[in-house]
Amino acid sequence: MVLSDLGWDAFFQEDLRDGVPARIVSSSRECFLAWTQSGELEVRPSGRLRHSSREWPAVGDWVALRPHTPVIERVLPRRSALLRKQPGKEPRRQVLAANVDVLFIVSGIDRDYNLRRIERYLELAHNSGARPVILLNKADLASALALDLEFLVCQTQRLSPGTPVLPVSAASGKGLEKFAGLLRAGETGALVGSSGVGKSTLVNRLLGEERQSTGAVRPANQRGRHTTTRRELLLMPGGWLLIDMPGLREIQLWTGDPSPGASFAEVQQWAQSCRFRDCSHTTEPGCAVQGQLDGERLANYQKLQREGAYLERKFDGRLAREERQRWKSIQKSLRRHPKQRDIP
């Protein structure tokens, strides 16, 4: 394999002090599949990485392998990372995918179509450093569902002016020719969306083969079933790469900033004219945002604000506790093995 075909460039080369570069293709607990210049192989994390590193390998990561041994010594710095709060009460970070250039946000035009969910995915993209592209799948069903496809595209476009919104049909292949100009050879895209929006069908259509298993939505509630069960990096016919991911039931954002960002640019602009600098855009007099923004969009903005503030409060304290516990473990290990002074 040629590393540049897999996304390797000067950005990653600069941080490769030693070791063999490899890109993570898929993972299953502590067993990883990776691509190297010599081909595909199974790799595992070193003991040092397992016990002392803050960065655990994710699909799309570039890692440094121990020479002549399928062992991951460290994760190279990421150009971008799709992060969310791990489901549950604990404020833990989950890396969904790494080094993604374009994030394809897939939404069906049927019952899955939800502007508030798309707003969250747009924030996920902007926070990660990836370029968002919205795919409105199942466009072939517009007539049967009595939907105005052009209106849906325009309505979605207003969420993030400048972000491409493409009506496509994974089932028929309509609109997929537009993918050719979105990614260059060696660049990486990723698919996110709910179960049942047609991500696996889309992958099969782009690959030109039945690679991913597919399934119909449930007739009772039109909700999808998980057919993709793991994240996987795929090499596409056009020379670019694609990370396919299972449907996300929960998408709580992970960010150190309590305020939503680029997906709500108009709110940030209008807020400059608010009477009070700390205006929450709820009941304050002289608020320049209230009345300007759609009520549901404003409510979603405020909800994302609350989630961000909660994470900021909780994570700082948790990070300090984890750091103290880490050094306690190191000191305990040194007492048990006083000659082993190379523990980080």
**Cα–Cα distance, 279 to 288 (Å, whole number):** 9
pLDDT along the chain (344 residues), means of 10: 94 92 92 94 93 88 95 94 81 88 94 90 90 95 94 93 94 88 94 90 87 51 52 93 85 66 78 84 84 83 80 67 66 61 42
Token output for 181: 């100009």
Pick the CATH number of 262-325 from 2.60.40, 1.10.40, 1.10.10, 1.10.3470: 1.10.40
pLDDT of residue 311: 74
Contacts of 328 (CB under 8 A, 6+ apart): none
CA distance 260 to 211: 37
Instruction: Say how far apart CA 242 and CA 189 lie, in whole Å.
Output: 5
pLDDT of residue 277: 81
The residues with which 83 forms a beta bridge, in sequence order, are 95
CA atoms within 13 A of residue 181's CA, in its CB half-sphere: 5
Angle subtended at Cα 69 by Cα 65 and Cα 73, rounded to the nearest 5 degrees:
30
81-244 and 3-75 share a CATH fold: no
Distance between CA 255 and CA 85 in Å, rounded? Answer: 9
* Res 1: pLDDT: 83
This prediction's pTM: 0.80
Q: Does domain 81-244 have CATH number 3.20.20.70?
A: no
**pLDDT of 222:** 46
Domain 3-75 falls under CATH 3.40.50.150: no
> How many residues are recorded in the chain?
344
Q: What confidence score (pLDDT) does residue 221 get?
A: 45
Residue with tokens 């549901």: 296
pLDDT of residue 260: 67
At 33, give phi and psi (nearest 5°).
-105, 135
The DSSP bridge pattern shows strands 31-36 and 20-28 to be: antiparallel
Which helix (H) or strand (E) covers residue 131, if one does?
A: strand 131-137
Number of Cβ within 10 Å of residue 70's Cβ equals 15
What are the residue boundaries of the structural domains of the chain, listed by start?
3-75, 81-244, 262-325
Rounded distance between C-alpha atoms, residue 135 and residue 166, angstroms? 5
Sign for the pseudo-dihedral over CA of 23, 19, 80, 254: positive
**What does the pLDDT read at residue 76?**
96
pLDDT of residue 302: 82
Q: What is the pLDDT of residue 25?
A: 97
* Cβ burial 274-295 (10 Å sphere, 16+ → b, else e): beeeebebeeeeebbbbeebee
Question: Residue 341 is encoded by which pair of tokens?
Answer: 């002074």
Provide DSSP, 3-29. Answer: GGGGT--HHHHTT--SSEEEEEEEEET
Q: What is the dihedral of CA 84, 80, 18, 69, to 10 degrees?
A: 50
Q: What is the pLDDT of residue 7?
A: 96
Strand-pairing partners, residue 31, are 28
Structure tokens of 322? Answer: 């984890």
